[in-house]
Structure 1
Amino acid sequence: MNVTIDKNSGYCFGVEYAIQMAEDELGHSAELYCLGDIVHNRMEVERLHQQGLRVIDREQLGQLHDCKVLIRAHGEPPETYQLALRNNIELIDASCPVVLKLQNRVKHAFDATTRQNGQIVLYGQPGHAEVTGLNGQTGNRAIVVMTEQDLDQIDFRRPVTLFSQTTKSTAGFYRMKQMMEERIAAAGGDLTTFDANDSICRQVSNREPQLRKFAHEHDVVVFVSGRKSSNGKALFGVVNHENPRSYFVENEQELQDDWFEGATSVGICGATSTPMWLMQRVADRIAEVGEAVA
């Protein structure tokens, strides 16, 4: 049985940058705090915990003083930086440059649209760290949507500016855009006041066509990702649509031998938050299964 790891899978630039910053700091510090999981992958979080990275939540951040805290790639709202100043916390800011640029765009759009009685809409997962940071640029006055039902929150007779969480599905964003245009027309609104911005990271969106091709090249596909990963859910949907013999796992312990019955080719791929070492571990376990059934 031939087992292949997708060379295009693995960390995106933002995640790789954040982990490198954490490891560099831990190289000369026994302990470092991180606001939220540094990456939505339990295995990687556990590996870095062993090196001294301690995950905290926002409530715990408020109790800290005179220490160092890492801001992960997802970015943070303005109030996090204000709290750090008050509590003499040194922030090691590993916010992804793509996310920071989007935060700036949302802030400028909010300032402009407020003068026109408009609304900022974010296509993204409510409660997701990146969405929290983006919404913070609007004073938490943006409308967050994920489903068609969520659109009921919007007044389509008023101007609307739409942005997307950077790791969402491109197809999902354009479906949302189309539904919003239909709602504007039905409400008698003005489509010229609807500004839709495809702000999905191209490192993420470019993986979709690559994964479609990869899924077709193998009898079985194993997609490796943390279950908290928004990007992982979106990309697995792409793979599973192309190849029904696709399986989602967090690690090699979740593999089931009967998945590979009759397979001569197995492909391993993952999310932008999946480390290459974990995909290799999954590949090694599948290779053992192949030897056992040969």
Structure 2
Amino acid sequence: MMGNLKVTIDHDSGYCFGVEYAIRMAEDAMEEAGKLYCLGDIVHNDMEVKRLYEKGLRVINYEDLKDLQDCKVLIRAHGEPPETYRIAMENNIELIDASCPVVLKLQNRVKNAHDKMCSDNGQIVIYGKKGHAEVTGLDGQTNGNAIIVMDDSDLEKIDFSRPVTLFSQTTKSTKGFYDIKKKIEDRLKIQQAAEEGQAATLNANDSICRQVSNREPKLLEFSKQHDVILFVSGKKSSNGKALYQVCKSQNSNSYFIESEEELNLSWFEGIERVGICGATSTPMWLMEKVKNFVENIEHESLVSC
């Protein structure tokens, strides 16, 4: 039997500025035209993608883009490589560019670093998920020459006798970035000792979005204050996976769910405080829906007793 549940939403969770801006731009454009194409899922949350589909947003891929002409296409917050802009210009496609300003600034830094790298025989290394839209956009600034790393095995792609400039996907874990940075530093020292010369340089740039990274300490505190944590996120969200692990590290009774349909009644037995939080791609309306569902479960359970 469940006790008297107090259900609280973490109001620091939910959309970051970039995602909120992109969705607002999409909705504004659909109000005018009724239909809009979007290059990839506008946000890594199937529930929100479905809601926007019903308003007229149609998700396309790069092959679809090549076949389109004389229409409007939204560039989502993740940003795009230069090739996308070239195709749009050739096909008379009007781009509604909702790239996050933080991502655009990082793209510029990566391009400048790559241009410099060409003169000093260096390497651009990006800590991120290969194939992720933002990483694809960053790699595009290097003409596809960046080395993408996520774990130890990826470090084998780096030539440790040459200078390294390191960046991070904006939504990755701060801890993960500094772990990779330390491992690269250690490998450069090993290479230096083997060659009995001077170590190649490492220029590490912590390019993680602070609006994202600042959520980690807040989520640690939020997780500590509740008996059960319901982390609401799309399964495709890299940010969601990282922030969920933050909750799990502090509270073992943390559960990753996409919607209220995945709730298990046994999670709430003998507890009093339920905390609901989510990723930067989780809409507030979805967390509210989960909260209402939990409160209704409690009400029905008490009525049936």
TM-aligned CA deviation for residue 264 of structure 1: 0.2
Matched ranges for 1:137-176 at <5 A: 137-176=141-180
User: Equivalents in 1 of 2:185, 2:296: separation in Å?
Assistant: 52
Q: Which runs of 5+ in 2 are unaligned?
A: none
Give the alignment partner of residue 251 of structure 1, picking from 255, 259, 278: 259
Q: What's the CA shift for 1:192? A: 6.3
TM-score normalised over the length of structure 1:
0.99
Residue aligned with 1:187, SS: helix
Percent of paired sites with the same residue: 64
- The one of 236, 241, 250 equivalent to 2:249 is 241
Q: 1:95 aligned to 2:103? A: no
- In the TM superposition, 1:1-294 aligns within 5 A as 1-188=5-192, 190-191=198-199, 193-294=201-302
Distance between the aligned counterparts of 2:69 and 2:288, measured in 1?
Answer: 40
Is contact 1:221-1:246 (8 Å) kept? yes
Kept in 2, the 8 Å contact 1:181–1:191? The answer is no
Q: One-letter code of the match for 1:253?
A: E
Question: Secondary structure of 2:207's partner?
Answer: coil
CA contact (8 A) 1:10 1:273 kept: yes
- Mean Cα deviation higher: 135-144 or 256-265: 256-265
Unpaired runs of at least 5, structure 1: none
How far is 1:261 from its partner? 0.8
Shift of 1:126: 0.5
What is the number of equivalent residue pairs in this alignment?
294
Secondary structure of 1:144's aligned partner: strand
Question: Offset at 1:293?
Answer: 3.6
TM-score by length of 2: 0.95
Distance 2:274 2:174 in 1: 27
Tell me the C-alpha RMSD between the 2 structures.
Answer: 0.9
- Name the stretch that deviates more: 7-16 or 190-199: 190-199
